[in-house]
Structure 1
Amino acid sequence: MKEIFKARKFYNNYGSEKFKVAVGIFFTMLVISVFIFLIVGYTDQPEASINGPYYYSFVDSFNNRVNLIDKPQRVVSLVGSYAETWILSGGELVGVTNDVISERKMELPKEIKIVGTIKEPNLEEIINLSPDFVLLSPDIESHVRIAQSLEKSNITFAFFKVEHFEDYLDMLNICTDITGNKELYEKNGLEVKKQIDDLLSKIDKKDNPNILFIRAFSSGAKAKNDDNMACKILNDLGTVNIASRHKSLLEDLSMEVIIEEDPDYIFLVTMGDSKKALEALKEGIAKNPAWSDLTAVKNDRFIVLPKELFHYKPNAKWGDSYEYLAKILYPDKYE
C-alpha cells in the first residue's frame, strides 16, 4: 500500500501521460505475474517441498522433530512390535532385539542381526550396523540413554509410543509415508479399523457386563485398569472394569473387593513363564475358598487370554483381538 500511495503522489505532482502509461504497464505485468504464480504454484509439487529440504519430517512421541534426509535403507528396531510394524509398512531391517523371535515368533532373514534385548540393547552392535534410522520406545530407560549416543553419532532415531490401536495406526501411517507404500496403510491399518468399527457397531451400550482383568506373573498378580491395552479393548466393547471403581485393586488384589463386586467375567493374561504365573495364581488368590463361588468362576467365565493378542501388541491383528473378546462377551451377536 505504501508503494501505491507513493505512486499516487508522484502521479498527482506530475500527471504526465508517460507516467500513466508506465503505471498501467507496471500493474498489467504485476497481474500477469500473480496469475502465472498461481498456475505454477498449484501444479504437482515434489514431495520434498512439503518437508522442506528433507525426504520426510515428523514429530515423534517424545515431541522431537525427526528429519530424514534420505529414505532409510538401514533400519534398526529396538522393539519387537515396532520391527513388525516397519515390515508391515513394506520396510526392511538390518537389526532387531531378540523379542522379535522369543515373543513374536517372527521369521526373519538370516542376515538380520540381533542387537541384544529390548531392555538391554547392545549399543556397540547397533553402531556397527551403520543404521540410518533407529526405532525406540520412550518407556524404556535404556532407549532414552542410547538415543543420546545415537545423536552424538549423527544417527537419526525416533521414539514411538504404542499402547492402543489408534497409536498403532498413527505409527503405521508414518512408517508407510517413509517407505512410500501407502497401500499397506490401507491393508494393515484402515481395513483393520473397519473390522473393529463393524464389531463395535453391533454392541448394545445398555448391556454392560462387569469384568475383572488380571495380569499374572510368577511372583504374583495385579488387576489392571482401562489404560492397559486389553482393558481398553474391553472398555470399547462396553464392559465395566471393577478396578476402575476400586483403585486399590491395582496394588492389592483383594479377595474381599472381588467378592463384593462379583464380576460377570474374569480375564487373565500372563507375563513371563505362563505355567509359573498360573501356578502362582492358584497358590495365591485362587486358593481362597470363596474364589470358586464367584459368578465368573462358576459359569466358566474365568478366561486365560492368549498373549499374542492381549499382552504383545497385535498390530495388524488388532481386529482379531476385538473379535476374540466380542465373541466371548456377546456370543449371540458374533457367531
Structure 2
Amino acid sequence: MTKKKVIAFALALSLTASMFAACGKAAPSSSASSAAQQSSSQAAGSWSYTDALGRQVKIDTMPQRVVSLYGSFAECWMLAGGKVIGATDDAVKERDLDLDDDVTIVGTVKEPNLEQIIALTPDLVILSADIAPQVQLDTALTEAKIPHIYLRMDDYHSYLEVLRGFCDLTGRDDLYAENGIEMEEEINEAMERAKAQTEHPSVLLLRAFSSGVKAKAEDNLAGIILKDLGADNIASRHESLLEDLSMETIIAEDPDFIFVTIMGTDDEAAMKSIADTLGSNPAWKDLSAVKNNRFIVLPKELFHYKPNEKWGDSYEYLVDILYPNE
C-alpha cells in the first residue's frame, strides 16, 4: 500500500475509533500539464453520442463556451484539455477544481440558475441525468437552441466512454492515454490480483448520512468496485438488508470487513448515525470486522465523488485492503 493510501487508511480508522468512543485539488498530473502545452496530437474533431437520456447528440466542432452543471463532468472535460466558462458550486466546494477567475458559478447541482446559464451563451451545456432539476432543463435549453448533453458516469467504463468523446472533440489523444488508458491498466492489474486469490472476503457496505444509515449492494461506486474485486457483499445475498438493516443478519454473517461511505458534509453526524443504529447493540463490538479493526471509512474523493482519472486509485485502495499479503 502506498504512503498516501496508508495515511488515508489510518485517518479513516482514527475517525471511526473516536466516534464510537464518544457514543484535492483535482487536476491533471504534471506530465499531463506538460502535454497540454504541446500541440494536439490531432485536430479537434466531432462527437456523436447517445446520451444518458437516450437523446442523439452530435457535436461537430470543439465547444469553446462550455457550462457544466456537475463538478465531476467539468473535471472530465478539463482532463480532456477543455475549459469551462460556467460551473455549479460543487466544482469548487467539493472537487476543488482549478477554475479560471472569470468562470461563473451558475448555482448548485440541484438548483442550477437557468438565466445565468443562458446569459453565458454556451455552445455546450453538460448535465446530469440523475438530478431531476437538471433533467427538467431539457425543454428550456432546447427552445433556446443551446446544445446540451446528459451524462451518467457510474463506473469506469462510462467514464472512459465520455473521456474518449471529449478527447475526440479537443483532439487530445495524449490526454486520453494519460487519463484513460493508464488508469484502465491499473484497474486491470487490481482485478487480476483479485482473481488470483483462492479466498475472497465477505463485506458489509454501509452508506451513512446525518439522518440514518443503509446497507448498499452494487448500485453505487464502492459496491461496483467490491464486486469487481471478488468481495462477497452480504447485502447482495440478503436483499432484505437494503430495506431493514437487521443486526441479526449481520451477526449471523459476521462479515470480514465493514466499509462505510459518507453522504453529505457532516461526517460526525453520519458516524453518530452508525453508532446509534448499530453500535448501540452489545453484539456490535463482537463482530470480527470491529474486533480486527476492519471497520473502514472510505475516502470521499475515491468512493463518493466520481474519481474520474483516479478510478485506478480506487481499485488499488480496496485491493490493498482486501488482499493485503499479495
Give the TM bin, normalised by the shorter chain.
Answer: 0.7 to 0.9
Cα displacement (A) at 1:309: 0.5
Gaps of 5+ in 2: 1-41
**SS of the counterpart of 1:207?**
coil
RCO higher in structure (CA 8 A, sep ≥6): 2
Which residue of the partner structure matches residue 31 of structure 2?
A: none
TM value normalised by structure 2 = 0.84
1:207–1:238 CA contact under 8 A, matched in 2: no
Are 1:263 and 2:266 matched, yes or no? no
Residues 297 and 100 of structure 1: CA distance in aligned 2, closer, same or farther (over 3 Å): same
Which residue of the partner structure matches residue 311 of structure 2?
A: 318
1:199–1:323 CA contact under 8 A, matched in 2: yes
Cα displacement (A) at 1:71: 2.1
Cα displacement (A) at 1:213: 0.3
Provide Cα deviations, 1:284-311, integer angstroms capped at 9, x if missing partner: 2111111000010011100011111001
Which residue of the partner structure matches residue 328 of structure 1?
A: 321
Question: How many corresponding residue pairs?
Answer: 283
Which residue of the partner structure matches residue 216 of structure 1?
A: 208
Report matched runs for 1:105-184 at 5 Å: 105-184=96-175
Cα displacement (A) at 1:106: 1.8
2:61–2:169 CA contact under 8 A, matched in 1: no
Structure showing greater radius of gyration is 1
Which residue of the partner structure matches residue 299 of structure 1?
A: 292
Cα displacement (A) at 1:64: 1.1
TM value normalised by structure 1 = 0.82
Cα displacement (A) at 1:57: 2.6
2:47–2:165 CA contact under 8 A, matched in 1: no
The aligned amino acid for 2:151 is F
Which residue of the partner structure matches residue 284 of structure 1?
A: 277
- In 2, the alpha carbon distance for the partners of 1:100 and 1:297 equals 35
1:214–1:221 CA contact under 8 A, matched in 2: yes
**SS of the counterpart of 1:232?**
helix
- In 1, the alpha carbon distance for the partners of 2:61 and 2:140 equals 21
Q: 57, 61, 65: which one pairs with 2:52?
A: 61
Percent identity (aligned): 51
Which residue of the partner structure matches residue 245 of structure 1?
A: 237
**SS of the counterpart of 1:289?**
coil
The aligned amino acid for 1:236 is D
1:213–1:231 CA contact under 8 A, matched in 2: yes
Which residue of the partner structure matches residue 233 of structure 1?
A: 225
